[in-house]
A and B are shown apart, each in its own frame.
Chain A
Amino acid sequence: MSIEARFIVQPGDAFTLNVDLRLPGQGVTAIFGPSGCGKTTLLRAIAGLEPCRKARLRIAGTTWQDEKTSLPPHQRPVGYVFQEASLFPHLSARRNIEYGLKRIPMSAQRISLDDAVTLLGLEKLMERRPAQLSGGERQRVAIARALAVSPKILLMDEPLAALDLQRKQEIMPYLESLQRQLEIPILYVSHSPGEVARLADEMVLLDNGMVQAHGDITEIFTRLDLPLAHSDKAAALIEATVAGHDDHYALTLLDFSGGRFAVSRKNLPIGHRARLRVIARDVSLTLAHQQDTSILNIFPATVETLSTENESQIMVRLKVGEVTLLSRVTRKSSTLLGLKPGKQVFAQVKSVALLS
């Protein structure tokens, strides 16, 4: 149950996509990179929409494309969500969703119309024409339409990019429930670190048509040899489990391998797995465990590597238990504290965001 994708595609004169990937057969894999790096071309190649110079594509043990054969797009069991909803303007929401559903054999149907409609919360919008729907609603119909063909893989090409912030927040919960409830792999193209931090498990970093890095998302976010750890909002992602609630102070306690986080109370059941994001600027370092501080989340940590950001700032990669944290400190502080690989410090986390 995995995806093997090898492509050499030259859509224009200037650019070549050349990738050789093995992706997991479930969960969300983010395809990440700047515009023009080949993200969309990769999805189009998988869907069979882009002519390839060389291709080898195997999904869940079935060959879709190799030197000899290439399934035409309409015979590939994919669900494709385009950047713009691209609904058929002459059909109602219902008939848009039914369009693909009607074209698959009954025996291949694993997601019913009702499942797709409920998952995206479209019950009340079904009889509307696309022109009568908001941008966010249209994109939800487009996602339901892609799911209704019971795909073996869901390809999402920046489904939120054309929407404003409010619409993005309206759709995000639906995407998160897709990620939890579907048993098929999702390839999610994005150039927004915030989106992929909430949704993805694995991450493929593309740059100029080549794979720059590929691995666990928490690892890719914090690798100092990659661009994400040097952006203004560089952050570490931490998987944690709700351990309990402090009713007196209205806090929620979350355990991870390096200790226990306290965050403002969230209505989550004990045992719920959640992802936390800690931004590098919100992490300060001390040599001794401060007692007289307002910061609740302080963890013993080991300096792993350092990297110079600019004349005045240094990015420090730390290990807290099994988990990696990033801390952005000034070069002066770094010198005064004598930071170097292996050094034992305390990481003070000023704020932490609960992503899911």
Chain B
Amino acid sequence: MLTAADYDALIVTLKLASLTTLILLLIGTPLAWWLARSRWRFKFLIESLIALPLVLPPTVLGFYLLIMLGANGPIGGAMTALGLQPLAFSFSGLVIGSVFYSLPFVVQPLQNAFASIGSRPMEVAATLRASPLDRFFSVAIPLARPGFLTAAVLGFAHTVGEFGVVLMIGGNIPGETQVLSIAIYDHVESLEYTQAHWLSAGLLIFSFLLLLSVYALNRQQLLLRS
């Protein structure tokens, strides 16, 4: 049925998606908060940049990342000069690529969630002696909880489904950078349809169940609040 390499690909995929989601929640939360609150007139520039991976072919993003991170690129070159391994064709490189690739899927739900809270609950908290940081954690985060759930699941699922970026900057190193989507591609190339079926059906069911739980939970939240 599944080979050892398939299990490795599964573990690499889960590791990559979890780490990417974690990083994205950490940088996406302050970014989304700022986007939801700021009245800066050039805010749309940042918003367009963040949305770019939604429309860009993943290969384009992957290509530029490869140029940047490769041994001859500005970042990769600097790292080589410091005696470090360049990031291209490494797991760390994959994480960086995935963070860019899944950024809008985390930032946009969070931004919407923060925007829908409005300024009133924050003003109420201020008149109840809560400092800005205090009211962010005691009011904004709890009220944006459905947004966090959506953001985490979309970020995770979208990273699991990544193909083009991985292919460009990660290559296909088993146990290091080979993820499920690429393992499926490999199986099909080698006409191993049984394994391709197992992995594909597994991903299909997993993704569906994930989305199902998000929509069900958000529905429940809405019913509770109304």
Interchain CA distance A223-B198 in the complex, whole Å: 87
Residues of B within 8 A of A131 (CB): 224-226
Interchain CA distance A228-B131 in the complex, whole Å: 42
Instruction: Give the top 3 A-B pairs by smallest Cβ distance, nearest first.
Output: A100-B128, A80-B127, A103-B129
- Residue pair A146, B127 in contact (C-beta under 8 Å): yes
The smallest C-beta distance from A108 to any residue of chain B, in angstroms, reads 10
User: Which range holds the interface residue count of chain A?
Assistant: 20 to 34
Residue of B121, B129, B132 touching A86 (CB-CB under 8 A): B121
The smallest C-beta distance from A102 to any residue of chain B, in angstroms, reads 9
Residues of B within 8 A of A72 (CB): 126
Residues of A within 8 A of B226 (CB): 131
Residues of B within 8 A of A48 (CB): 126
- Residue pair B120, A99 in contact (C-beta under 8 Å): no
Q: Is B124 an interface residue (CB 8 A)?
A: yes
- Residue pair A74, B120 in contact (C-beta under 8 Å): no
B-facing residues in A20-64 (Cβ within 8 Å)? 47-49
Residues of B within 8 A of A90 (CB): 142-143, 145
- Residue pair B123, A99 in contact (C-beta under 8 Å): no
- Residue pair B127, A78 in contact (C-beta under 8 Å): yes
Q: Is B50 an interface residue (CB 8 A)?
A: no
Q: Is A338 an interface residue (CB 8 A)?
A: no
Residues of A within 8 A of B132 (CB): 74
Q: Is B14 an interface residue (CB 8 A)?
A: no
- Residue pair A103, B126 in contact (C-beta under 8 Å): no
Residue of A49, A75, A129 touching B123 (CB-CB under 8 A): A49
Q: Is B79 an interface residue (CB 8 A)?
A: no
- Residue pair B224, A100 in contact (C-beta under 8 Å): no
Q: Is A15 an interface residue (CB 8 A)?
A: no
The smallest C-beta distance from A200 to any residue of chain B, in angstroms, reads 22
Residues of A within 8 A of B138 (CB): 99
Interchain CA distance A74-B135 in the complex, whole Å: 10
- Residue pair A149, B120 in contact (C-beta under 8 Å): no
Interchain CA distance A19-B195 in the complex, whole Å: 78
20 A-B Cβ contacts within 8 A? A47-B127, A72-B126, A73-B123, A74-B127, A74-B129, A74-B134, A75-B129, A76-B127, A78-B127, A80-B124, A82-B123, A84-B120, A86-B124, A88-B125, A89-B225, A90-B143, A99-B128, A100-B127, A103-B134, A146-B127
Interface centre among B126, B128, B225 (most CB of A within 10 A): B128
Residues of A within 8 A of B142 (CB): 90
Q: Is B139 an interface residue (CB 8 A)?
A: yes
Interchain CA distance A88-B128 in the complex, whole Å: 12
Per-position 1/0 for B138-168, Cβ under 8 A of A = 1100110100000000000000000000000
Q: Is A104 an interface residue (CB 8 A)?
A: yes
Interchain CA distance A99-B122 in the complex, whole Å: 13
Residue of B124, B125, B129, B224 touching A104 (CB-CB under 8 A): B129
Interface centre among B120, B123, B131, B139 (most CB of A within 10 A): B123
Interchain CA distance A191-B125 in the complex, whole Å: 26
Q: Is A79 an interface residue (CB 8 A)?
A: yes
Residue of B124, B139, B225 touching A82 (CB-CB under 8 A): B124
Residues of B within 8 A of A214 (CB): none
Interchain CA distance A129-B129 in the complex, whole Å: 22
- Residue pair B127, A103 in contact (C-beta under 8 Å): no
Q: Contacts A89-B143, A131-B226 hold; do A73 and B126 have CB atoms under 8 A apart?
A: yes
The smallest C-beta distance from B199 to any residue of chain A, in angstroms, reads 40
Q: Is A145 an interface residue (CB 8 A)?
A: yes
Q: Is B68 an interface residue (CB 8 A)?
A: no
Interchain CA distance A100-B126 in the complex, whole Å: 9
Residues of B within 8 A of A100 (CB): 127-130
Q: Which residue from chain B places its CB closest to the CB of A100 in the assembled complex? A: B128
Per-position 1/0 for A173-192, Cβ under 8 A of B = 00000000000000000000
- Residue pair B125, A99 in contact (C-beta under 8 Å): yes
- Residue pair A149, B124 in contact (C-beta under 8 Å): no
Interchain CA distance A131-B225 in the complex, whole Å: 6
New A-B contacts (20) at CB < 8 Å, excluding given A48-B126, A74-B127, A129-B224? A49-B126, A72-B126, A73-B123, A74-B125, A74-B130, A74-B132, A76-B127, A80-B127, A82-B124, A86-B120, A88-B125, A88-B139, A88-B143, A89-B225, A100-B127, A103-B129, A131-B224, A145-B128, A146-B127, A149-B129
The smallest C-beta distance from A79 to any residue of chain B, in angstroms, reads 7
Interchain CA distance A82-B122 in the complex, whole Å: 13
B-facing residues in A92-110 (Cβ within 8 Å)? 99-100, 103-104
The smallest C-beta distance from A284 to any residue of chain B, in angstroms, reads 49
A-facing residues in B28-57 (Cβ within 8 Å)? none
Per-position 1/0 for B175-212, Cβ under 8 A of A = 00000000000000000000000000000000000000
Interchain CA distance A79-B132 in the complex, whole Å: 18
The smallest C-beta distance from B182 to any residue of chain A, in angstroms, reads 42
Q: Contacts A131-B224, A131-B225 hold; do A88 and B126 have CB atoms under 8 A apart?
A: no
The smallest C-beta distance from A333 to any residue of chain B, in angstroms, reads 53
The smallest C-beta distance from A42 to any residue of chain B, in angstroms, reads 15
